[in-house]
Amino acid sequence: MEYIRLSDERGRANFGWLKSQHTFSFGSYFDSEHMGLSSLRVLNDDRVAPGAGFGTHGHRDMEIISYVIKGEIEHRDSMGNHFVIPAGEVQRMSAGTGITHSEYNPSTHQELRFLQIWIQPNRKGIAPNYAQKKIEQHEALTALITPKGEHGTLSINQNASMYRMALNRDEELTLSIDRKRKGYLHILSGDAQIESDIAGNNGISSIELSSGDGIGSARPRKLLIKSRSEFSALWFDLPG
């Protein structure tokens, strides 16, 4: 398999109020072998202490996605938005020409856990934009974000899509990757055996992965997911 990212090998940061694991290089963590995959540039697993958070700071020319796993995010930005994003919802902020925002854990007792995801846009200098939504799981692979916001999803300024996968124990799902595309699977919870139709340079065509692990590729045309428990993951369909 082409790219395997194990949870305990990710970069780590601990600021007391924030504990984070970085799939790709971010902040003070740098690894030239883990700079992102296609337009997927950042995938951080952030845990924020009660009452703490990220003070007002700026971004530009980036599609920033927050996927809340546990707790809530209180969001404020320079466009005048003030919203709370609860667990299970997804938020997309197009920074475009420039935006400032803050993100806090409004709870006085519960930890906030969310994935901070950055995707590089297909063009710069767009007008900043904000959207959030709760999208119910209606099949094993449910679209959350698509290029044009098709079928009730959130839109994004890139030819990329993000899906939430949910499998029961001992279920199977095959992911197909177009020859001109790349894919990345990040496991949220559970365990699964992942089988590829092409072995990588290390000869691996099957591997057991669990929460926090990831696998990405452009070479295999298919990935077969065999769940060993209740299983959930995010699947990214990315430009080649």
Beta pairing class for 99-104 and 112-119: unpaired
pLDDT tens track for 126-151: 999 999 999 999 899 999 999 999 99
pLDDT for 199 equals 57
- The domains of the chain are located at 3-239
Query: Can you give the pLDDT of all 240 residues of the chain as single tens digits?
Result: 578 999 999 999 999 999 999 999 999 999 999 999 999 999 999 999 999 999 999 999 999 999 999 999 999 999 999 999 999 999 999 999 999 999 999 999 999 999 999 999 999 999 999 999 999 998 999 999 999 999 999 999 999 999 999 999 999 999 999 889 999 999 999 999 999 876 554 555 889 999 999 999 877 788 999 999 999 999 999 998
Residue 43 and residue 100: Cα distance in Å, rounded?
Answer: 20
Residue 112 and residue 133: Cα distance in Å, rounded?
Answer: 18
pLDDT for 203 equals 52
Identify the burial level of 35 via C-beta atoms within 10 angstroms of its C-beta, where 0-12 means exposed, 13-18 middle and 19 or more buried.
exposed
Q: What is the pTM of this model?
A: 0.95
Tell me the C-alpha to C-alpha distance, in Å, between residue 42 and each of 35, 62, 169, 238.
Answer: 8, 10, 30, 14
**179: which 2 tokens?**
């020859």
pLDDT for 197 equals 78
pLDDT tens track for 204-222: 588 999 999 999 987 778 8
pLDDT for 227 equals 98
Residue 78 and residue 57: Cα distance in Å, rounded?
Answer: 10
- For 3-239, CATH number out of 3.40.50.620, 2.60.120.10, 1.20.120.160, 3.40.50.300 equals 2.60.120.10
Give the SS3 label for residue 51: coil
Give the SS3 label for residue 37: strand
Q: Which residues pair with 174 in a beta bridge?
A: 224
Tell me the C-alpha to C-alpha distance, in Å, between residue 23 and each of 31, 147, 167.
Answer: 10, 23, 23
**202: which 2 tokens?**
């290390």
